[in-house]
Amino acid sequence: MSVRNSTQQSLSVQQMIEEKKKKGSVNQVLEKLMPKVLMVTAGLSILTTLGILFTLLLETFTFFERVSFWEFVTAKKWYPFSEPGSFGIMPLISGTLKVTGIAAIVAVPIGLASAIFLSEYASDNTRRIIKPILEVLAGIPTIVYGFFALTFVTPVLRGIMPSLEMFNALSPGIVIGIMITPMIASLSEDAMSSVPRSMREGALALGSTKLEVALKVVLPAAISGIVASIVLALSRAIGETMIVAVAGGSTPNLSLNVTESIQTMTAYIVQVSQGDAGYGTTIYYSIYAVGFTLFLFTLCMNLLAQFISRRFREEY
């Protein structure tokens, strides 16, 4: 009986060794294969980015063969559908910056206040409930935000400001601010939560109140992450399309008036992409020039966010 048991044990051990070898060979194949797969996917990402940039540059150069670059950057009128057309990008930039400025006024205070509450005042249970609910706002389709701005926010604002036009800069700016608030709140809360607990306890031991600790200790210590979150959120606001296309209008105006109809760079691209211009026309190529300008704006914003994050980062 003992010989039989020992034989069974030896067989089971041999089976385990063989299974181990088989698993080891599979793991070795995966170890050799996965780096190549990951390299291919990374290469595809780089090639896609280069392809987009090449297309933008090629079509933009074609546009500037027909329209003076100096007129594009200095002219104060954008009337591409008139004859002769006027292609001054400044009214579109003005509309984009007006909407982004209003969004910043709405989102930055609310987002920072939410981050301070979640980081310094909310209990763990409260944080686990509120933070996902707040981040749901980021998952709502932007077209829904656009119709919300047009059918709800604008009528409410017109009841307060009778001079407000149906299409204006104020309504989409406020709604974009609501949309980017979760980004600022979430990223800022993560930055503030990374500040060591010992700094808070030291400030409290010196007699500081909880509000003073939040504003004078935690906030300066997390400033790099907070500023980076704000810059990234504003770059998201600059590139927003559907909200301004639905509620902002299609009238390029170079002014500071937020009650009148505007047109942003993204809204103009949507307008022409709907078929208002034939392929190969100057108006068709103008969307690439506007898109390249928008690309430069968002690129500068992202580079600024990275610079601020590296320059003012404090490691604990």
Distance, in Å, from the CA atom of 101 to the CA atom of 120, rounded to the nearest integer, reads 28
Task: Specify whether 163 is located in the same domain as 61.
Answer: no
Residue 73, domain member (yes or no): no
Task: Specify whether 61 is located in the same domain as 210.
Answer: no
**Can you read off the two tokens belonging to residue 299?**
């690129």
Task: Specify whether 209 is located in the same domain as 269.
Answer: yes
Burial code of 202-219, b = ≥16 C-beta within 10 A, e = fewer? ebeeeebeeeebbeebbb
Residue 140, domain member (yes or no): yes
Task: Specify whether 56 is located in the same domain as 85.
Answer: no
Residue 123, domain member (yes or no): yes
- Phi and psi at residue 53, to the nearest 5°: -65, -40
Asked if 243 contacts 172 with a C-beta cutoff of 8 angstroms, the reply is: yes
Burial code of 67-105, b = ≥16 C-beta within 10 A, e = fewer? beeeebeebeebebeeeebbbbbbbbbbbbebbbbbbbe
Residue 19, domain member (yes or no): yes
Range of the domain at 61: 2-66
For residue 178, give Cα distances in angstroms to 47, 137, 161, 223: 35, 8, 20, 22
Question: Which residue, 88, 143, 146, is CA-closest to 290?
Answer: 88
- Phi and psi at residue 78, to the nearest 5°: -125, 90
**Can you read off the two tokens belonging to residue 93?**
């930039």
Question: Which residue, 176, 177, 174, is CA-closest to 112?
Answer: 177
Q: Which CATH number does the domain housing residue 216 bear?
A: 1.10.3720.10
**Can you read off the two tokens belonging to residue 253?**
């105006």
Task: Specify whether 147 is located in the same domain as 171.
Answer: yes
Question: Which residue, 130, 231, 141, is CA-closest to 179?
Answer: 141
Q: What is the pLDDT along the chain (316 residues), one digit of tens a residue?
A: 554 555 555 556 566 656 665 555 666 777 778 888 888 888 888 898 888 888 888 888 888 888 888 888 888 888 877 777 788 888 888 889 999 999 999 999 999 998 888 888 887 888 888 888 887 877 888 889 988 988 898 999 888 888 888 888 899 999 999 999 988 988 888 888 888 888 887 888 878 788 888 888 888 888 888 888 888 888 888 888 888 888 888 888 888 888 888 888 888 888 887 766 677 788 888 888 888 988 888 888 888 877 777 776 666 5
Q: Which of 44, 66, 88 is the last residue of a domain?
A: 66
Task: Specify whether 257 is located in the same domain as 122.
Answer: yes
Domain count, the chain: 2
